[in-house]
Structure 1
Amino acid sequence: MQSTRLSDDRQKSGLETWTRIKTYCCEDLQHGWSFNLGSVRAFYISNFIAADLTVEKSHDPKPKPDPSTLVFGKQFSDHMLTIHWSEKGGWEAPQIKPFQNLSLHPATSALHYSVQLFEGMKAFRGADNHIRLFRPMLNMERMYRSADRCCLPAFDKQELLECIKKLIEVDQEWVPYSSNASLYIRPTYIGMEPSLGVSRSGQALLFVIVGPVGPYFATGTFNPVSLLADPRYVRACRGGVGAYKMGGNYGPTIAIQTEALRQGCQQVLWLYGEDEEITEVGTMNLFIYWTTEKGERELVTPPLDGIILPGVTRQSLLDLAREWGEFKVTERTVVMKEFLEALKAGRVREVFGAGTACVVCPVGSLLYKGQTYQIPTMQNGPELATRFFKELTDIQVSVFTCCP
């Protein structure tokens, strides 16, 4: 495949503020950029390597959907990546094979005890027609931490990333030719022990599926969402697994999401504790842009204290805001009382969620204890949310990158 390079005319393109972020934000599949962040503690000696990867091509390719008709998480590509592990044999060679159902023993530990974790990342077709991943090593590191917490065997993050890149190369025509769509990548890691005992799994399967996606929310990327905040329900607690991307964190939220829809809201604002700490919005990290009591502009988001997920988009927005240096950027706890006082005083400018699926999602209203509060996100532009969205998506589709 044709190689590419970054344009030397970075200052003219307005990329000078991205000096630190751009050096590790994208992984160019054609260029072959790589990362080596060093070794970490492993549970098991054996490991798989991308050099052993085998590819079995599908003989029955599916038609590619129209990017304008895509629904999140409904379409999948022609191939998948699978890597098996067992306590006796260690890691087997990675395989790319036609997309197919998995065969699971009825007593599989992932089915009974949620010995399972996953990741979510995207590949983008750039303005130069090259395909890139957005900050993929952050996903690999988070997946590694989740595996540690779930007592699943360790793996080499770089080798897994190389296998994922090969899968995308095989299914490259599934990466939409559109700046409004992308290829969603779902690495998943499950315990495969065929036993009803609650213990560390002696068998495991790491697999990756991919599929084209459009906007995450049916209302569209930049239509504001309404939130239900009900202090009776929590998403996670300190000392638990809220900071890890495990399926067990998501299934129990469906009932509350359904209740939010019943009350006319689209998402849930998750609160925690007697003080009603604001934590996350739906499956996204939360940001509040307001004016402090001292008249200072501030962007605030809850801290990584074990309750919230350390999101890649969250980190990217913080990196961007700190690069700009135009307002105060704070990671701290915000409780409902403080937020409502600021809202009533007219100091709240914008509230928005941030995540891989949606990038940035403005919040327009909040239903809390029977009262609806209007949030002036859209009335204020939303200036900051729009700026974040444009900066990130421009990097993701590499509008600043050109071919020789």
Structure 2
Amino acid sequence: MFSRSIAHILRKPSAFQNLGQLRFKSTTLSELSAQKVKVNKSNALKPLVPAKDLVFGKTFTDHMITAEWEEGQGWKSPEIRPFENFKILPSAVVFHYALTCFEGLKAYKGKDGKIRLFRPDMNMKRMNNSVSRIALPSFNGDELIKLIGDYLKIDERWIPSERGYSLYLRPTCMGTQETLGVNPSSRALLFVIGCPVGPYYKTGFAAVSLKATTEFVRAWPRGTGSSKIGANYASGILPQQLAAKEGYQQNLWLFGDEHELTEVGTMNLFILMKNEKGEKELVTPPLDGSILPGVTRDSIIELAKEWESETGIKVVEKKMTMPQLRDAIKKDRIVEMFGAGTACIVSPIKCINYEGEDLQIPLDPSNPEEQAGPFTKRVNKTILDIQYGEVEHPWSVVVN
């Protein structure tokens, strides 16, 4: 049983959910249900990989979750089955029109042996927004969380127990109708796979350098930037390669003629700075439809607001341009800067190349050897403490 109620999940659908689900409204359609799950355990379990040898996205557990959907019928009984290949025809729409979306969350095992998920309700809400945006079927998020809980109990041996290690979960939905035609898919497959992963940075924080790209655009308002669909990521691979050739680890995505700041690679962006009055602000771009509503992003905002009376740091969601950031850097008004996401929690930023100039970002003025500033490190530690059950918090959902 879960340690807290999740009945509040998905009560406020987005505009895209309302738009995308018009074709699925029917009282006769079968809903996704964890009670109907069929379990088929593998007869041959794979050997575990030592924690020190784990590479992100390379090793997968013994089982996976699958659930098929068909127009006019709804969701079929979900299955927990051995991890194996799918049999999909080359004419399936997912291969031709990118009808696919996904989520990323982690399962953690604390010192008490309990398995925890971190704010899974937000992942379910965001995934329902994503499927709606590309006209795939929605599902009951509570039920998928229960299915993930059942799956984790079966593959528990794959969840590392060391702090900093976890089981990365990848829920995915894709259109499987076998036809060539740009239309909503009449069939879909929802599945969840898991891979054990270690710390994003094996030696601790490692600040990154960014290439502020003016040649490419990641997303735009009223586009698909706020949804976690596969097509959003394919277009970022070439710019990432070009930035790497110049010695930069990530792109800093800019938008429009004024070069508005949006995201860092596949992460949300945060800037701890002093405004023109000398007041400290934690600035992040607003959710205007082009920014992915990150779970880590929301968590950092909520934590920073809780700390405001102590730190004096005010959270500000506002548009900011790269010329404005450059000016603030040169006037020594930038205190810290980092990206945020599920994979790494926070990724400190030490340099931004913009229009041929390398702009240096402070890390920790009190200790030049450190790769992250005090606020960045506090955010990282606080979220880790919650994820591993070091502190009790409603964001932590116990599975076992």
Shared fold by TM > 0.5? yes
Report the more deviating stretch, 237-246 or 366-375: 366-375
Instruction: State the match for 1:333 in structure 2.
Output: 319
SS in structure 2 of the partner of residue 324 of structure 1: helix
2:280 matches 1:280: no
TM-aligned CA deviation for residue 368 of structure 1? 1.4
SS in structure 2 of the partner of residue 250 of structure 1: helix
Residues 79-228 of structure 1 aligned to structure 2 (within 5 Å): 79-216=63-200, 220-228=203-211
Output one character per residue of 1:373-398: Cα deviation in whole Å (capped at 9) or x when no partner. 11112436511000000000000001
Rounded to whole Å, the distance in 2 between the matches of 1:216 and 1:191 is 31
2:344 matches 1:373: no
Rounded to whole Å, the distance in 2 between the matches of 1:220 and 1:245 is 29
Instruction: State the match for 1:270 in structure 2.
Output: 253
TM-aligned CA deviation for residue 69 of structure 1? 2.0
Instruction: State the match for 1:244 in structure 2.
Output: 227
**Unpaired segments ≥5 residues, structure 2:** 367-371
Aligned match for 1:77, one of 58, 61, 64: 61
Instruction: Give yes or no for contact 1:221–1:360 (8 Å, CA) kept in 2.
Output: no
Report the more deviating stretch, 81-90 or 247-256: 81-90
Instruction: State the match for 2:342 in structure 1.
Output: 356
Letter aligned with residue 4 of structure 2: W
TM-aligned CA deviation for residue 251 of structure 1? 0.7
Instruction: Give yes or no for contact 2:30–2:76 (8 Å, CA) kept in 1.
Output: no
Rounded to whole Å, the distance in 2 between the matches of 1:167 and 1:378 is 42
Instruction: Give yes or no for contact 2:111–2:161 (8 Å, CA) kept in 1.
Output: no
Rounded to whole Å, the distance in 2 between the matches of 1:237 and 1:208 is 29
TM-aligned CA deviation for residue 193 of structure 1? 0.8
Instruction: State the match for 2:391 in structure 1.
Output: 400
Output one character per residue of 1:161-196: Cα deviation in whole Å (capped at 9) or x when no partner. 111111111111111011011010000000001001
TM-aligned CA deviation for residue 128 of structure 1? 1.1
Aligned match for 1:383, one of 347, 355, 374: 374
Instruction: Give yes or no for contact 1:125–1:182 (8 Å, CA) kept in 2.
Output: yes
TM-aligned CA deviation for residue 154 of structure 1? 1.7
Output one character per residue of 1:313-333: Cα deviation in whole Å (capped at 9) or x when no partner. 000000000011131110001
Rounded to whole Å, the distance in 1 between the matches of 2:392 and 2:337 is 31
Report the more deviating stretch, 59-68 or 350-359: 59-68
Rounded to whole Å, the distance in 1 between the matches of 2:219 and 2:391 is 39
SS in structure 2 of the partner of residue 321 of structure 1: helix
Rounded to whole Å, the distance in 1 between the matches of 2:375 and 2:224 is 31
Output one character per residue of 1:350-382: Cα deviation in whole Å (capped at 9) or x when no partner. 010000011111001111121111111243651
What TM-score does the superposition give when structure 2 sets the normalisation length? 0.90
SS in structure 1 of the partner of residue 169 of structure 2: strand
Report the more deviating stretch, 221-230 or 240-249: 221-230
Instruction: State the match for 1:11 in structure 2.
Output: none
Letter aligned with residue 383 of structure 1: P
Q: Percent identity?
A: 45
Letter aligned with residue 187 of structure 1: P
Letter aligned with residue 83 of structure 1: A
Rounded to whole Å, the distance in 1 between the matches of 2:199 and 2:275 is 33
Instruction: Give yes or no for contact 2:102–2:173 (8 Å, CA) kept in 1.
Output: yes
Rounded to whole Å, the distance in 2 between the matches of 1:241 and 1:79 is 31
Letter aligned with residue 202 of structure 1: S
TM-aligned CA deviation for residue 129 of structure 1? 1.2
Rounded to whole Å, the distance in 1 between the matches of 2:30 and 2:378 is 45
Rounded to whole Å, the distance in 1 between the matches of 2:38 and 2:5 is 21
Instruction: Give yes or no for contact 1:72–1:215 (8 Å, CA) kept in 2.
Output: no
Letter aligned with residue 62 of structure 1: K
Aligned length: 373
Letter aligned with residue 36 of structure 1: A
What TM-score does the superposition give when structure 1 sets the normalisation length? 0.89
SS in structure 2 of the partner of residue 379 of structure 1: coil
Instruction: Give yes or no for contact 1:270–1:281 (8 Å, CA) kept in 2.
Output: yes
Aligned match for 2:48, one of 56, 60, 64: 64
**RMSD, aligned α-carbons:** 1.7
Instruction: Give yes or no for contact 1:71–1:216 (8 Å, CA) kept in 2.
Output: no
Instruction: Give yes or no for contact 1:303–1:331 (8 Å, CA) kept in 2.
Output: yes
2:7 matches 1:36: yes
Output one character per residue of 1:211-254: Cα deviation in whole Å (capped at 9) or x when no partner. 1011235x755110110112111100112100000000001100
SS in structure 2 of the partner of residue 105 of structure 1: coil
TM-aligned CA deviation for residue 88 of structure 1? 4.0
Instruction: Give yes or no for contact 1:224–1:378 (8 Å, CA) kept in 2.
Output: no
Rounded to whole Å, the distance in 2 between the matches of 1:401 and 1:304 is 29
CA change 1:334–1:267 in 2 (3 A) is same
**Unpaired segments ≥5 residues, structure 1:** 1-29
Letter aligned with residue 349 of structure 2: V
Output one character per residue of 1:71-118: Cα deviation in whole Å (capped at 9) or x when no partner. 111111000000001114321100000000111110111111011100
Rounded to whole Å, the distance in 2 between the matches of 1:198 and 1:221 is 46
Rounded to whole Å, the distance in 2 between the matches of 1:181 and 1:203 is 36
Rounded to whole Å, the distance in 2 between the matches of 1:289 and 1:67 is 34
2:37 matches 1:53: yes
Report the more deviating stretch, 249-258 or 86-95: 86-95
Rounded to whole Å, the distance in 2 between the matches of 1:196 and 1:280 is 34
Report the more deviating stretch, 68-77 or 191-200: 68-77
